[in-house]
Chains A and B, each alone.
Chain A
Amino acid sequence: MNQSDLQALRIPLLVLLAVLVAGALAIYFTAQLMTVERRQLVQQQTQLKQAQVRLQKSGDEKDIIVSYLDRFRQLERTGFIGEEQRINWLDGLRLANQQADLFGVDYQISTQKPYPFASEFNPGQLALNQSLMQLRFRLLHEGDLLRFFDALARQDAGVFTIDQCLLRRIDNHGVIRYQPNVNAECDLSWITVKAGAAAERKNP
C-alpha cells in the first residue's frame, strides 16, 4: 500500500477510528453502568435479607428488651454504661479508704482509651473504653489491700479490673505501733460501655 492508496483511504480510516473510539467508550460506559447496578442490587439484597431476619426475630427482640432492660438501667446508674462517672469513682475511693481504715490514697487517672481486651467479649456495635487509674497508698498489713478493693467494689461506682499491684515492706526498725508497714502501688482499669441510640432500631 503506497502513499496515494493511504490518501484515498484517509476518510474511511478516520471513520473507522471514530467508530472504534465511540464503540469503546459506549461499551466501557455501559459496562460501568452495569457494574454499578449490580453492586447496588447486591447491597439492596443484603438490606432485604437483614430486614427479613429483623422481622422474623422481632418477637425475640421484644423478649430480650423485657428481660434485660432493668439490668441495663442498673448498669447505667452505676456508670458502667454511658459516659464515665469519675466523680463516682473518687467518691468510691474516699469511702473505701474510710471503710478499710487506710492512711489515704493518692490517685492519678489517665485519659480514656479503647479497652484493649474488648474482643474477648464480642461487643458487636458496643464500644468498650477504659481509663487507667494509678493508686498509691499505705497499709497496716497485706490483708488491708484486699479489704480496700472489696470496699471499693461495694461502692458500686462502676466496673473496674485490677491490672497490677506492688507491695513493699516499710522498714520500721522493729518498732511495733499503729503505723503503716506496707507501701502499695496498684493500677486499675475503669471500664465503660457506650451503646448506640434507640433510633437505630426505629430506622432500620
Chain B
Amino acid sequence: MDDKLLIGISAQGATVAHWRGRKIVECRTFTDHEAGQAGFKEHLARFPIVPVHIVVDAVEEDYRFETLPHASGSDRADMVNRKLKQHYRNTPYLSAWLLGRDSGKRRDDRYLFSALTNPELLGDWLQAVIACGLPVAGVYLLPMVTAGLLDKLDVKATNLLVVAQHAGGLRLTFFRDRQFRLSRLTRGDSGKAESGTRYFTDEISNTRLYLHALRTMTLDEPLTVALIDRGDALQEAAAGVARDNPSLECVRFGRRDLADRLGLDEALLEASPYAIYLHLLGLKEPHSNLAPASVTVGYKRYQARRGVYAGCGALAAAVVIWSGTNLYSAGMLRGDTDDAARRTAELSSRYLEITRQFPQAPTTADNLKKAVEIGQKLRETTHSPQKMIALVSRALEASPAIVVREFGWKYGTTEIETGVARTAAVADPAAQTVTITAGPGSSRKESALIDGEVRPFRGDYRSAINSINSFAGRLAGQPGVAEVRVVKLPLNVNPALSLSGNTLDNPEQSAGTADFKLLLVLKAGI
C-alpha cells in the first residue's frame, strides 16, 4: 500500500502522520518534553518498517542563492560540496538545489543552498526514529514543502507571500514567479483580534522591506498575500491587512477551502498546523533533501531490498507467464495428439472392417507383391557361363593354334582374378591390349579368364604373339564385349627382367611353351 510516516518537527514538538493510500489516515502530536518523547517512541514502535519523511519548521534555517561556473560530474559535486562546507560548517543538514542556468553570457549554474543551522533541534527525534529501525528517506525545510501548496491554491500572482500561523510563530514564505525566494519564521503570537491584525500587518510590512533590501522586489510592485487560515480565525486579520496596505491583495483560505483544495480532512487541519505540509510532503517529495548519507543509509538499504523484492516479483511473474504459456501450448499439443489418435483409431477400425473381407494371406499385400516380383526378377536376370563359353568358342573356331587349358568365369561387381599384376602386364611392351570401353557403372558384370597356349610352338615368339593378339582381336570384335586384355604373353621382354632361351630350329625338339592369359569382360547389363 506504499505506507510512510510523515513527521513534522518544530521547537515545540513533533507531529507524526501515517500516510496510506495517498492520504493521511492518522495524525498525532507530541510535545518536546520527556513524556512527549516517550510517547513518540512508543507510537513509532507500532509501525513495521516504513520509510520516514521529515519536515522541519525552525527559525534556524538559511537560504542562499548563488551562481557557480557551469560544471558537470564530479567537478560539479566537488565544487558544490566545497561551497556548502564554506557556508555551513556546523551542521550536517545542508543541501544544494540546481535551479537552472544563468541567462548571462557565461551561462553559470544557479543554485539554492539551504541548511538547518541548529541540528540539535532534530537530534532527539531523529535518534528515536533510527532506534526504531525506521529508514529515514529525507529531511526537508518547511518552505521547500510549501512550494507544493501553490498548485493547490491556484493563485496567479508574480509576487506571492504565503502567510501561516504556526505553533512557533508566523511563517512567511515569498515566491516570485512561483519560485521560492525567501522564508522567515517570526516568533510571537497573533493573540487577540486587534493586536493580531496589527501583528500580521507589521510582519508582512517587515517582510516587504526585507525583500526590498535584498532587491528581490521593490515596494512599488504589487504583492499577493495568501493567508492560510486553518482555524477560520483570521477574517479580521485578512481584512485589516487589505485595509492597511492598499497595494496588497490579500486572499484568505479558510478551513473548508483548504480541505477541499488539498483533499484533506478538516479534523486534521484542526489537529495540527503541520497537517497541510505533511500532506504535501506525502504527495510529493520536494527538492533540497538536507539529510546526510549517514542518516539515509537505512532508506537506501530499504529501497535496495524493495528493488530486489520487486525484481523477484517481476521475475516470478515472467516465469509464471512463460511457464503458463508452455503449459498451455503443451495442453493444446496434447489435445491435438489425442484428436489425431482418435481419428487414427477410427480409420484403423474402418480399415480392419474392410480387411475382414480380404482373402486370407500370409503377409501384407505389399510384401506379397514384392516377394513375387523379386523371385521373378531373380530368375529372369540369372547369369550363367553359357554366353561367355559361346563367345569364346566362336573366336576359337578361327584360331586353330589356340588351345584353352583353363577357363574361369565370374559374375560380380569385380572382375575375375588374373593372378598377374596389372601394372606388370601393361609395362610389357609385347603385351598388346585390345580394349573396348563400356559405359560407367558399378553394377555386376560377367568376366572370364582364359588360360591357354599356342600349339604347335617351335620358338617363334613373334608368330605366337601374333596368333594370341589375333585371337584377342576376334574376341574384342564380338558383340557385348566391353574389354579384352592380354594379361600374360609367352615372352616377357621387359628390360627390367633377365631373358634367356634357345634358338634351335628343330621340329622334333621342343622350344618350350607359348602360354598366355586373356581377360575378357562383358558389358554390364548384358
Contact = CB atoms under 8 A, between A and B. Distances in A.
29 contacts: A9-B304, A12-B304, A12-B305, A16-B315, A22-B319, A23-B315, A27-B322, A27-B323, A40-B334, A44-B337, A44-B341, A51-B347, A54-B351, A55-B354, A60-B365, A64-B368, A68-B369, A76-B362, A120-B443, A121-B370, A146-B384, A162-B384, A164-B409, A164-B411, A164-B412, A165-B385, A193-B375, A195-B371, A204-B352
Contact of A41 (B337, B352, B383, B416): B337
A128 B374 contact: yes
A6 B385 CA distance: 94
Contacts of B323: 26-27, 30
B347 A164 contact: no
Nearest to B302: A8
A64 B369 contact: yes
The prevalent SS among residues of B at the interface is helix
Given A55-B351, A121-B374, A124-B370, 8 more contacts: A8-B301, A8-B305, A27-B319, A48-B347, A68-B368, A81-B375, A169-B406, A201-B355
Contact of B334 (A37, A61, A124): A37
B358 A61 contact: yes
Nearest to B331: A37
A84 to B, nearest CB: 15
Contact of B316 (A19, A30, A34, A72): A19
A164 B408 contact: yes
Interface in A61-119: 61-62, 64-66, 68-69, 71-72, 75-76, 80-81, 117
B383 A195 contact: no
Interface stretch (B6-14, B272-280, B306-314): B306-314
B343 interface: yes
A76 B389 CA distance: 34
A13 B337 CA distance: 42
Given A12-B309, A30-B330, A40 B363 contact: no
A32 B50 CA distance: 43
A5 B411 CA distance: 88
A45 interface: yes
B327 A159 contact: no
Interface of B: 301, 304-305, 308-309, 311-312, 315-316, 318-319, 322-323, 326-327, 329-330, 333-334, 336-337, 340-341, 343-344, 347-348, 350-352, 354-355, 357-375, 377-379, 382-386, 389, 404-412, 416, 443-444
A162 B411 contact: yes
Given A16-B312, A48-B343, A162-B382, A126 B370 contact: yes
Interface of A: 5, 8-9, 12-13, 15-16, 19-20, 22-23, 26-27, 30-31, 33-34, 37-38, 40-41, 44-45, 47-48, 51-52, 54-55, 58, 60-62, 64-66, 68-69, 71-72, 75-76, 80-81, 117, 120-126, 128, 142, 145-146, 149, 153, 159-169, 191, 193, 195-198, 200-202, 204
A157 to B, nearest CB: 13
B511 to A, nearest CB: 20
B406 A45 contact: no
Nearest to B309: A12
B302 to A, nearest CB: 9
Nearest to A40: B337
A19 B315 contact: yes
B340 A48 contact: yes
A123 B382 contact: no
A139 to B, nearest CB: 11
Contacts of A75: 371-372, 375
Contacts of B372: 68, 71-72, 75
B330 A33 contact: yes
B308 A126 contact: no
Contacts of B309: 12, 15
A164 B350 contact: no
Contacts of B410: 163-165
B491 to A, nearest CB: 23
Contacts of A47: 340-341, 344
Contacts of A169: 404-406
A48 B363 contact: no
